[in-house]
């Protein structure tokens, strides 16, 4: 059993703490939101993440997890590991906001009582481990005490919707350390989750910090590449679905993140791609490829909304748009940078009425749109009340829907941002089906005007 303090009860912190507690460690999770702490003490999870509620309740019953509202309270138990899992939102220029990370470091330096390994698990730019070390050291000096400590970088690689499985059965654990002691201690901590030593990757802190950004940028690149290729496929009469299968059989490429669609969203890819671009600018080495990945993702949403407005023209103001899917991906209620937000805004701007449904994310979207849109209790209610359907999240209940159900739509028109249906099936039913890169039976739109096309890398912030 090891004593572990986790600062931050968000997606990363709560999953990390709960999974460590499941292995019998003694975990204290700190969050300055007392209401959230009270909910967690009762076993209520403040967001949707499959299986997380079960392991938190189990840990509470076994008393291997506790929740506190201050770092001082948690450090009074002298934990051997202190994980910083606070947010690093984007600043206006795309750089990561490190204010929360820095505040945590200052609090640790103020209240540290004995040696500990401080672990940056938040996604942070290169050089943050050094910055955290200096802040803690400065606070110890102010106190007039000498306490040894290590700072390590241990980026998370958790997929929302499958985060618990990712932590319990990781494909790799990356740690950036400056001492053999820290490396050995972290290996011992993670050993119960590993099936082979090769999964535990030890490197320098800068390399570990950059590995996180590099991984997300690579996945985002695959998405944007396929989305751009999908437009060419439509123009040439090819099928992006068939192209994907042809590519995926190459072992060097594989099938992951090759689905054409409306683009990526969520709390990680948009933020981390922007931060990597900004890091390049700060080093006077523009990350031009990554910047274009970001540009393509922005354009994809505009292009998709443009297809709807092109189909209907001024008549869109008299229509009711039905939307299936609000979360940025299935199995989560997270709507951060979700395509649904941009599409709904565009529909409202053009005077359309909007009715939406999502299995778990509706309450979050209400915080943005309130009574400006309508909310259905189920997917069928959307079909019954809408003129046309917009599909934005590939929840299983949508992907397994029978295409003929769409005949309930008044206009029998579907705009599919996730390529969930077979175009030939929709055509046979007499449904006008707009998808992405699959030669939909609806005529392909004429090229957009220049206002929708990026002409330089400075045009990214179109929204």
Active site members: 268
Q: At what angle do helices 288-312 and 339-349 cross, to 10 degrees?
A: 40
**How far apart are the C-alpha atoms of 285 and 279, rounded to whole Å?**
8
Residue 388: CB atoms within 10 Å: 24
Sheet with 374-375, strands from edge to edge, namely 374-375, 353-357, 320-324, 388-391, 413-416, 432-434
Q: Which letter does DSSP use for residue 394 in this model? A: -
Residues 6+ apart with CB under 8 A from 377: 357
The region, left, alpha or beta by phi > 0 then psi within -120 to 50, assigned to residue 48 is beta
**How far apart are the C-alpha atoms of 23 and 41, rounded to whole Å?**
19
Evaluate whether 365 touches 335 at the Cβ level (below 8 Å). yes
Decide: helix, strand or coil at residue 165.
helix
Evaluate whether 354 touches 347 at the Cβ level (below 8 Å). yes
Q: Can you list the positions of beta strands (E) in 228-338?
A: 320-324
Evaluate whether 10 touches 17 at the Cβ level (below 8 Å). no
Evaluate whether 16 touches 167 at the Cβ level (below 8 Å). yes
Strands 81-84 and 3-7: parallel
Evaluate whether 27 touches 66 at the Cβ level (below 8 Å). yes
Residue 149 tokens read as 């400590």
Decide: helix, strand or coil at residue 436.
coil
**How far apart are the C-alpha atoms of 334 and 366, rounded to whole Å?**
13
H/E segment holding residue 184: helix 180-190
Residues 6+ apart with CB under 8 A from 21: 27, 55, 59, 62, 64, 65
CB burial readout 113-141, b (16+ within 10 A) else e = eeebbbbbbbbbbbebbebbbebbeebbe
Inter-CA distances, 215 with 113, 152, 190, 408, Å:
36, 19, 21, 43
């Amino acid at each position: 059993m090891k004593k572990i303090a986790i600062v931050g009860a968000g997606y990363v912190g709560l999953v990390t703490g709960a999974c460590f507690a499941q292995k019998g460690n003694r975990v204290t999770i700190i969050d300055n939101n007392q209401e959230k702490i009270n909910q967690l003490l009762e076993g209520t999870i403040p967001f949707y993440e499959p299986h997380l509620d079960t392991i938190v309740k189990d840990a509470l019953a076994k008393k291997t997890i506790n929740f506190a509202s201050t770092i001082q309270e948690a450090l009074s138990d002298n934990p051997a590991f202190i994980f910083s899992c606070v947010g690093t939102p984007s600043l206006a220029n795309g750089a990561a906001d490190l204010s929360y990370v820095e505040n945590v470091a200052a609090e640790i330096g103020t209240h540290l009582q004995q040696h500990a390994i401080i672990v940056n698990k938040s996604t942070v730019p290169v050089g943050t481990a050094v910055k955290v070390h200096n802040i803690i050291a400065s606070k110890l000096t102010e106190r007039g005490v000498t306490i040894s400590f290590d700072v390590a970088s241990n980026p998370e690689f958790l997929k929302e919707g499958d985060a618990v499985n990712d932590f319990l059965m990781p494909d790799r654990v990356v740690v950036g350390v400056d001492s053999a002691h820290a490396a050995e201690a972290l290996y011992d901590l993670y050993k119960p989750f590993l099936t082979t030593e090769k999964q535990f990757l030890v490197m320098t802190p800068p390399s570990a910090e950059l590995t996180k950004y590099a991984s997300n940028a690579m996945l985002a690149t695959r998405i944007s590449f396929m989305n751009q290729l999908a437009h060419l496929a439509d123009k040439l009469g090819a099928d992006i679905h068939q192209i994907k299968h042809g590519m995926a059989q190459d072992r060097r490429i594989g099938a992951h993140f090759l689905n054409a669609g409306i683009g990526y969203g969520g709390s990680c890819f948009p933020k981390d791609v922007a931060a990597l671009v900004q890091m390049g600018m700060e080093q006077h080495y523009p990350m031009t490829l990554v910047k274009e990945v970001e540009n393509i993702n922005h354009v994809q949403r505009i292009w998709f909304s443009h297809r709807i407005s092109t189909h209907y023209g001024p008549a869109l103001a008299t229509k009711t748009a039905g939307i299936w899917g609000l979360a940025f991906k299935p199995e989560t209620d997270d709507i951060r940078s979700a395509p649904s937000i941009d599409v709904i805004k565009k529909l409202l701007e053009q005077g359309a009425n909007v009715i939406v449904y999502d299995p778990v994310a509706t309450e979050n979207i209400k915080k943005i749109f309130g009574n400006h849109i309508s909310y259905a209790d189920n997917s069928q209610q959307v079909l019954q009340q809408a003129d046309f359907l917009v599909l934005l999240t590939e929840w299983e209940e949508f992907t397994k829907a029978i295409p003929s159900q769409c005949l309930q739509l008044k206009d029998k028109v579907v705009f599919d941002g996730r390529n969930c249906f077979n175009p030939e099936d929709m055509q046979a039913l007499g449904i006008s089906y707009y998808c992405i890169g699959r030669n939909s039976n609806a005529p392909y739109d004429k090229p957009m005007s220049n206002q929708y096309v990026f002409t330089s890398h400075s045009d990214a912030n179109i929204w």
